[in-house]
Structure 1
Amino acid sequence: MRSPPARRLVLPRLRHWRDWQSLAYLALLPALSAWQWVHGFSWLLYGPMLFLTLGISVIHHNHAHMRLWRGRRANRFTDVWLTLLQGHPTFVFWPAHVANHHRFRHGPRDAARTYRFGGDTNHLWGYLIHPLQAAAVLYPLFIAWLATLRRHWPGAWRYCMTQYAWWLGSWAALLALDWHRALLFVILPQLHGLHWLLATNYLQHAHADGRPGTKGGSLDYARNFEGLVNPLLFNIGLHTAHHEHSHIHWSELGRLHRECYRARVHPALNERGLLTYMARVFVLGALVPRFRSRSLMPASALPPP
């Protein structure tokens, strides 16, 4: 009697070869954290580790729009890995980002629109406080989303709650092991990444036009950042092209920005670099009025909060 053929090991396949950069970031961040946990704090490693928390936030965002792998199991594993590295469940991108921000495009129905909180601002305090303001209005979306899942898709609800268990369980275990190291090498870097994850909305939309709100209208709802931020952080600065083509791979955004959108966006919304923009608007603008940005949305068009 012939024995059944042995099963071949099928390795997971990336959807796009450029995501080897994503995998490098996903491996390097915990490696730097673990090395310092064992050998002690090092500024030469802590600085790059904080930068990598930004990269994890962008990978988290990209994975929500286009799954990293072609296989379900590999994507599920990546969900858990991102949850542990980000310090927050992966599923939140669906109710907060895809179903809200991409649907309403900084318009009056966008829950975290930048002009919702104290008027149409673009200054340092607005940038710093925006993550807390956004979290306050987005968490009700998460709760409503989970309630809907529990009623109609209990399996999906259990999967989301499992992500909470992994995240909170990892914090509890690390804090019990050594709370000083847990705070310094895990939790504070995660909070740094979460700040940038939420504050990016302010950078990309404050003082942009919030009137269009729907696809097919004006493209002046988002700000674009060119320069080094894009090769380092997966083209996260090219926000107009991403909004208009949210289901394509991030590596295609550079071409789309150059060929299709750069010339169609208001010149004030195309910035050469992220850090120069922040220095000019948030620092110099606080001292010299001519360095401040100007809103593209007239006060008469501002919807009520």
Structure 2
Amino acid sequence: MLKRKADLRALLFVLFSIGVQAAGFVLLPESWAAKILLCVAACQTSFVCAVISHNTLHCPMFKNRGLNRVVQFLLTLGQGDPVSSFVPGHNLGHHTHLQGPKDTMRTSKMRFRWNLLNQLLFMFVIGGDLLKHTYRYVWSMRTRKRSWFRQFLAESVLLYGVYVALLAVYGVEPFLLYGFIPHLFSSWGIIGINFVQHDGCDHEHPVNHSRNFTGRLVNWWTFNNGYHGIHHMHPGLHWSLLPEAHARELSPTIHPALEQGSLLAYCWKAYIWPGRRMTYDGKPLVLPPPIQDESWVPTMAEMVDVSLGAEG
């Protein structure tokens, strides 16, 4: 039933992540050391669920549409956001209009002098624009593709229904520690990684448009999300095939600075020391004048070659 056996690990991780988050509510530890440990674990696993959601929306796990819907429900609980909400901002805006006025997540919106703030606050600066674009698209889909609209609504009702139930049964503190904070971290991470992967790159260049991280550990943990350039070139390519495709198509021609071996080493250099905002080829980044987001809803023709997830 799975399209690729590699997705068994992804599916098991989703269940594990939900289990980690549920453990906080079941165990209800009294010591703050245990509370913080469970909260941190839930944050990390929730973020990985968001990565799996990203992969799944581009390339659904199962051949059966009904099973893919179920996966999206599980991922919604794991990451704390309706999975279908990825589609307008990421699959359609970011992938088809990279760094342009239709990309609400373009990195040029960040203009703090201290580069660390650009990374830390990325989600909070672009979040309002992203939400407006998302719900404009969602509203348009109620008449254009009702099956997708119903899936989005079902994911939303499930998530917020569970939130209300957790608040009612367990109270505010457990809800914040094992629900809201991990899910906020998940959104912060999956949106913020956009800044790491694209800031200072040349979005008009055929290969130098994305920063890649080729370390084994980070790619094992994030299901090959480090191979971002080849993902942009082939959005529907299954995550397990990205390293091979990167080595074959991208590695021979990409600028060496866009093939980073260590995510942590890059972050230290980019945000701590020397912490300067640079282009990929080592020049100080000169930001273009600020531009307004273009208010748009993609036509059905623009969505033909873009995966919309289980209902795509």
Q: Does structure 2 conserve the Cα–Cα contact (< 8 Å) formed by 1:175 and 1:183? A: no
Bigger CA radius of gyration: 1
Identify the residue that residue 193 of structure 1 maps to in structure 2. 186
- 1:42, distance to aligned residue in structure 2 (A): 5.4
47-56 vs 19-28, which moves further: 47-56
Identify the residue that residue 279 of structure 2 maps to in structure 1. 294
Give TM-score scaled by structure 2 length: 0.83
**Could you tell me which of 45, 61, 76 is aligned with 1:52?**
45
- 1:30, distance to aligned residue in structure 2 (A): 1.8
Q: Does structure 1 conserve the Cα–Cα contact (< 8 Å) formed by 2:35 and 2:177? A: no
**Could you tell me which of 3, 9, 14 is aligned with 2:2?**
14
Q: d(CA) in 2 for partners of 1:263 and 1:122?
A: 34
Identify the residue that residue 6 of structure 1 maps to in structure 2. none
Identify the residue that residue 128 of structure 1 maps to in structure 2. 120
Amino acid at match of 1:272: G
- 1:256, distance to aligned residue in structure 2 (A): 1.2
Q: Deviations over 1:232-287 (max 9, x none)?
A: 2111011111111111110111011112102322222111111111122111124x
**Could you tell me which of 227, 231, 234 is aligned with 2:220?**
231
Q: d(CA) in 1 for partners of 2:262 and 2:15?
A: 27
**What SS does the corresponding residue of 1:126 show, helix, strand or coil?**
helix
- 1:87, distance to aligned residue in structure 2 (A): 1.2
Q: d(CA) in 1 for partners of 2:286 and 2:127?
A: 27
Q: d(CA) in 1 for partners of 2:146 and 2:68?
A: 20
Identify the residue that residue 244 of structure 2 maps to in structure 1. 255
CA RMSD of superposed structures (Å): 2.3
Q: Which runs of 5+ in 1 are unaligned?
A: 1-12
CA separation of 1:221/1:107 partners in 2, compared to 1, >3 Å: closer, same or farther?
farther
Identify the residue that residue 153 of structure 1 maps to in structure 2. 145
**What SS does the corresponding residue of 1:285 show, helix, strand or coil?**
coil
Identify the residue that residue 31 of structure 1 maps to in structure 2. 19
59-68 vs 36-45, which moves further: 36-45
Amino acid at match of 1:17: K
CA separation of 1:45/1:111 partners in 2, compared to 1, >3 Å: closer, same or farther?
closer
**Could you tell me which of 74, 83, 89 is aligned with 2:76?**
83
Identify the residue that residue 207 of structure 1 maps to in structure 2. 200
Identify the residue that residue 264 of structure 2 maps to in structure 1. 275
The question of 1:64 aligning with 2:57 is answered yes
CA separation of 1:99/1:140 partners in 2, compared to 1, >3 Å: closer, same or farther?
same
- 1:175, distance to aligned residue in structure 2 (A): 0.9
CA separation of 1:122/1:277 partners in 2, compared to 1, >3 Å: closer, same or farther?
farther
- 1:183, distance to aligned residue in structure 2 (A): 1.2
Amino acid at match of 2:278: S
Q: d(CA) in 2 for partners of 1:151 and 1:19?
A: 33
Q: d(CA) in 2 for partners of 1:137 and 1:58?
A: 21
Q: d(CA) in 1 for partners of 2:259 and 2:280?
A: 14
Q: d(CA) in 2 for partners of 1:122 and 1:112?
A: 19
Identify the residue that residue 9 of structure 1 maps to in structure 2. none
Amino acid at match of 1:256: A
**What SS does the corresponding residue of 1:264 show, helix, strand or coil?**
coil
Q: d(CA) in 1 for partners of 2:37 and 2:78?
A: 20
Q: Which runs of 5+ in 2 are unaligned?
A: 292-312
Identity score, percent: 28
Identify the residue that residue 87 of structure 2 maps to in structure 1. 94
Q: d(CA) in 2 for partners of 1:143 and 1:47?
A: 30
Q: d(CA) in 1 for partners of 2:129 and 2:163?
A: 25
**Could you tell me which of 87, 99, 109 is aligned with 1:116?**
109
- 1:300, distance to aligned residue in structure 2 (A): 7.5
CA separation of 1:94/1:76 partners in 2, compared to 1, >3 Å: closer, same or farther?
same
- 1:43, distance to aligned residue in structure 2 (A): 5.6
Q: Does structure 2 conserve the Cα–Cα contact (< 8 Å) formed by 1:122 and 1:293? A: no
- Higher RCO (C-alpha under 8 Å, 6+ residues apart): 2
The question of 1:264 aligning with 2:253 is answered yes
CA separation of 1:270/1:196 partners in 2, compared to 1, >3 Å: closer, same or farther?
same
Give TM-score scaled by structure 1 length: 0.85
